[in-house]
Each structure stands twice: as structure tokens, then as C-alpha cells.
Structure 1
Amino acid sequence: MRVAGMKVKIALSSLRIASFYALLSMLWIILSDRILGWIAKDYYQLELFQTIKGLFFVAATSLLLYFFSRKQMSTLFLVQSASEREALASLKEKELLLREIHHRVKNNLQIIVSLMSLNAEQDGLEDLKSKIRSMALVHELLYSSEGLSTLRADEFAGRLATVLLESYGEYGVTISGQGELFYIKVEKAVPIGIFVSEACANAVKHARQSPNEPLSIRISMRLEDAKVTVEVRDDGKGLGAADRSSLGLGTTLMAAVAEQAGGTLQRRDEGGAVVWFCYPAD
């Protein structure tokens, strides 16, 4: 913006110089011819005065052009320097973003390997696919957003519900997502996505008396008292005393990613199972 403003300033300055030169030249020609007509006594004297007048005009305008062009060149140099500084700053920013992308990819690959190891002894291919899809969704939302470091919570919750419904919808499960209008940093978004995915997988497996029963799951993300709350609730049979005290693989994974996001896993019964965690808003 600063460089663009300087370019506009140069263009306006050039227009003023050209206008001033045109006006000065016209006034000089008209007035000098009349004055010479008054003071010249004959044709030869008029011709001499015309020659002197022309030489004086060339010398004066050359001097003016020298000073004006010198000023313009100084301004152009400043614009070029500012452009180079902006280009260098943009290049450094892109290098930082590229390093950050490589770092995120490395971390996400490590998470995928860990998830595959956890699911290796189970028939959990669909669950693993849903977790990987939730991680991919984070990056999809990132490159389609204005920034590269935050996601809108309402969009994230809604899209997560859509992705997970593709995995579990055929099992008689409905999944909805709702979020308030605030932003989640990308380092929080990946563990949140895995947490929600695992919570939905647990609900599909354990919340119903039989696999044919319908099940409704609701995902919510809200900002309250400078804390972000991520919650998944279902309308199934609830946790029960044994489930609330047990630490199965799914619960362990949810606790781990909740801790990674800066929170602690919480569970309760409330018309079904409710799992959630909170972390301080940045």
C-alpha cells in the first residue's frame, strides 16, 4: 500500500510539472514576442532579440528540467527501495510459512502412524479413515480461508459433522455440528478434529443397545469466559458407572488429544453420553 501511494504521488507530481511547463512556455512565447515587438527598432534587431530569447529559454528550461528530474529520480529510488523491502519481507514470510507447513505435515504424519498403531489390533479401518479425514479437513479449511493459521469454529464444526456423517451415516446415525463465530488456531484444530472423530466413533460403537437403533450425535464448539469448549453428545444409553470409570483405548486417545490441545477430558451422562474438554482461548 505504501509503494502504491508513492507511485500515485509520482504520477501526480509529473502531471503538475508538465502542466507548469506548458503554461510557462505559452506565457513566455506570448509575452516575450509582444515585449520584443515594442523594444526592437528594426527587423535585424528583432531577429537578434528572438535568438537571445530562444537561447535563454532553452537554458532556463534545461536547468528546471535538471532539478525536477533529479527530484523525481530520488523519489523513484525511494519507491524502488521500498518495493525491494516489501518483496524481501514477503519472501521471508513465505519461507516461514513453508517451514511451518513442513512442520505441520511432519507432525500429522506422526499422528497418523500413531493412530494406525492404535488401530492395528482392531477392526478399526473406518474409524482410522474418519480421523485422517478430519485432519485433512483442517488443511482444506486452511487453504480456502483468508489466513493460514486459524479456522472459523462454526465452519469447522459443520464441516466435521459432514465428514463424519459420510463414515457413519449408513449405520443409522445422524451427526450435526454447531459452532459460535470465533477462531481456532491450527495447532488446536488437529487434536480437536481427532477428539471429535474418536468421540463419534465411540458413540457409534457403544451408545446403542443394538446396531439397528437410530442415534443422534451433536458436535458443538463455543467460547465462554475466555475458554473454548469442544463437546460431543449423543442421545444413546449413556455412559453408566462402569464406562465413566473405564479407560479404554478410545477414552485414552481422547484424553491424550484433549491434553495436546491444552484441556482435560470430561465425561458425564445427560440424556445420553456427553464428552468434552475446555482450553484457554488465546
Structure 2
Amino acid sequence: MTINTRENIKEELNNLKANEFIMWEFTIKTENNTVKHLRGTARKIYDNNNKYLRLSMSAQDITTEKDYTNHLIKTDREKTVLLQEIHHRVKNNLQLIMSFINLEKRFHKGEYEKILDITERRITSLALIHERIYKDENMNYMNIAKFLADLDKQLINHSSVKDIEFIRKLDDDLTFSINIVTSLSLIINELTVNTIKHAFDENIDHKTIYKSLNTFQKNHKIFCRFEYKDNRTGVENIEKILNSKGLGWQIINSLVNQMDGNYEITNKKGIGFILIFPIN
């Protein structure tokens, strides 16, 4: 019989009969403040004439066993939360994909091959996020340097322009929430496709896309400054870009609003996109 309270222990000791024993668990604190889990055992000793002789008690250190049990319980809870979180994120991303498809259908009526190509690219970006979550075993935060390196490889593989140099300047230890990474990856996707489609021509020998990330503090809040820049030739009309009704820029504006951010377009030796958004 296993019991847990001191009152029950006293009661069961008084009621113990021959060949019966009781067990209970308790904790002690050692001299160095280490907590030990113990399992106590007690039984009454009787002689051959069934006369009570003495009480036999012992204690066994079960700290390792207890810690392992608690670890299993914690792991099981974490797995339950993880599955719920995965379900939630997959559902949200599926809804996001459906929204993109509906937008593309309205914007590119009848151009099904183009719609599928654009949708495939966005799905691949979202899939990359899930892959990185699996590798990092973290559902809430992601190392942005590792993710952007993977994203650049993916963009190169899916691009018709193979001789682009992707340059990154960011803190290797910088981590963002998954929601920020999702929005940022989709923004980078749209900007990169815009660059590949409109920026580079045969006259540019060294095609580059530059990205940087750094954080700063303002009014007791932490913000991030993200910069994207290509080295296209020619002068672009910034007002035309800002007022563009193209779907790519509509998506960018929507994502920036979701991040509570704001951005500006620069036009110095190529087109630059500077985004400021809070991260706490």
C-alpha cells in the first residue's frame, strides 16, 4: 500500500498486520540544499507465536527515478502543446496560402501557370519555416541568420537568374518569433522576385542582393531595422513604386501592417527597401 500524508502513515502503522507493509514518498534537503526524493517502507516484525517484536523501517533514494518520471510527464505535456501549436500554424498557413491563391486568381485571370508558379514559391518559403522549426526544435523562436541563409539557397534554386550574389550582414545570434520570421520571409520573397523580374539585365556583370538586420532601442522598446537592396541600373520612380497596385506590393504592405512596421524606398545605386518594426 502506498500512502502520502503523515496522518495516514500513523494510522496505517497502527493497523499493520503480519506480512503487511506500507510505502510512502517524501523529500529531504541535504546540507548543500540539494533536494532528495526518498521512498519509505515500514512493516511490523512478529515472532512465530505472532507476538509483535519491533517496527522495521527503511528509506530508498529514488531521486533519479522521480526526476525521470517528472521528465516524462513534462515531455508528454510539451508534445501535447507542440502538436496543438503545429496544428494551429499549419491551419494559419493554409489559410494564408488560400488567400494568396484567391488574390492571384483575381489579379491574373486565366493565367493559371503563372498563378501556380507564384503559389509554389510562397508555399516553399512557408515549408522552409516548418523545416527550420523541426531542426531547431523550437516552436516559438528562430535563428534568423540560419533561416535567411537557407532562404537564399532556396531563392537561387528557384530563380531563372543563377549568377546573383546574395550578401547578408546580420548578427548570427539574433532570434525572432516565428510570426515575425513568417512575415519577413514572405516580404523578402516578394522583393527578390521583383528584383529578378525587373532589375537585372545583360549589362550588369555582378548582380547583387544585399540584406542586413540590426536592432536598436527607442523609448524603452526594441526595434529591428531590415534593409534590402539590389544593384539594378537606371533610376526608378519611387512614387510609382509606393503607389503601385501590383499584387506583390499589396502583399508587402499587408505584411508590414501585420508587423506594426513602416518602410521607405531608397534609390541610390539600386533600389533599397528599409523596414522598421518592433520585436517586443
TM class by shorter chain equals: 0.5 to 0.7
Structure 1 segment 117-128 matched on structure 2, within 5 A: 117-120=102-105, 121=108, 123-128=114-119
In structure 1, which of residues 110, 114, 118 is the aligned counterpart of residue 95 of structure 2? 110
Residue 90 (str. 1) matches residue 86 (str. 2) = no
Question: Partners of 1:108 and 1:276 in 2: how far apart?
Answer: 26
Q: Which amino acid aligns with 2:142?
A: L
Contact preservation (8 Å) 1:196, 1:219: no
Change (3 A) 1:232 1:126: farther
Deviation at 1:216, TM superposition (A): 1.9
- CA distance in structure 1 between the partners assigned to 2:65 and 2:90 by the alignment: 37
Q: Which residue of 1 aligns with 2:208?
A: 216
What is the match of residue 230 of structure 1? Answer: 226
SS of structure 2 residue aligned to 1:279: strand
Higher mean C-alpha deviation, range 188-197 or range 112-121: 112-121
Is 2:174 aligned against 1:182?
yes
Deviation at 1:148, TM superposition (A): 2.5
Max radius of gyration: which structure? Answer: 1
- CA distance in 1: counterparts of 2:99 and 2:202, whole angstroms: 28
1:13 alignment partner in structure 2: none
Unpaired runs of at least 5, structure 1: 11-54, 56-61
Letter in 2 for 1:176: I
CA contact (8 A) 1:173 1:216 kept: yes
Contact 2:211/2:228 (8 A) holds in 1? yes
CA contact (8 A) 2:141 2:175 kept: yes
**Which one has a larger percent strand, Structure 1 or Structure 2?**
2
Instruction: Identify the residue that residue 135 of structure 1 maps to in structure 2.
Output: 126
Structure 2 residue identity aligned to 1:103: H
8 A contact 2:259–2:278 mirrored in 1: no
Question: 1:231-270 residue pairs with structure 2 within 5 A?
Answer: 231-236=227-232, 237-241=234-238, 242-270=240-268
Alignment of 1:152 with 2:150, yes or no, is no
Offset of residue 87 of structure 1: 3.4
Distance change (3 Å), C-alpha of 1:96 and 1:205: same
Amino acid at match of 1:185: S
Q: Greater share of helix residues, 1 or 2? A: 1
Identify the range of structure 1 (98-107 vs 237-246) with the bigger mean alpha-carbon deviation: 237-246
User: Aligned with 1:271: secondary structure?
Assistant: coil
Deviations 1:40-64 (A, max 9, x none): xxxxxxxxxxxxxxx9xxxxxx968
In the alignment, the residues of structure 1 paired with residue 168 and residue 116 of structure 2 have an alpha-carbon distance, to the nearest angstrom, of: 23
Call closer, same or farther: CA 1:196–1:270 in 2, change over 3 Å: same
Distance in 2 separating the partners of 1:125 and 1:219: 27
Mapped contact 1:162–1:176 kept (Cα < 8 A): no
Alignment of 1:20-39 (within 5 A): none
Secondary structure of the residue aligned to 1:267 is strand
Offset at residue 278 of structure 1 (A): 2.0
TM-score normalised by length of structure 2: 0.68
Give unpaired runs (5+ residues) of structure 2.
1-26, 28-33, 39-46, 48-52
Q: Determine helix, strand or coil for the equivalent of 1:224.
A: strand
Match of 1:28 in 2: none
Question: Whose RCO is larger (CA < 8 A, sep 6+)?
Answer: 1
Amino acid of the residue matched to residue 80 of structure 2?
E
Q: How far is 1:149 from its partner?
A: 1.6
* CA deviation after TM superposition for structure 1 residue 191, in Å: 1.1
Work out the CA distance in 2 between the residues paired with 1:184 and 1:103: 19
Q: Deviations over 1:128-168 (max 9, x none)?
A: 32222211111111111142321112112211111111112
Deviation (angstroms), 1:223:
2.0
Find 2:191's aligned residue among 189, 193, 199.
Answer: 199
| 1:60-94 Cα shifts (integer Å, max 9, x gaps) | xx968x22x2x33xx54x87666555433332222
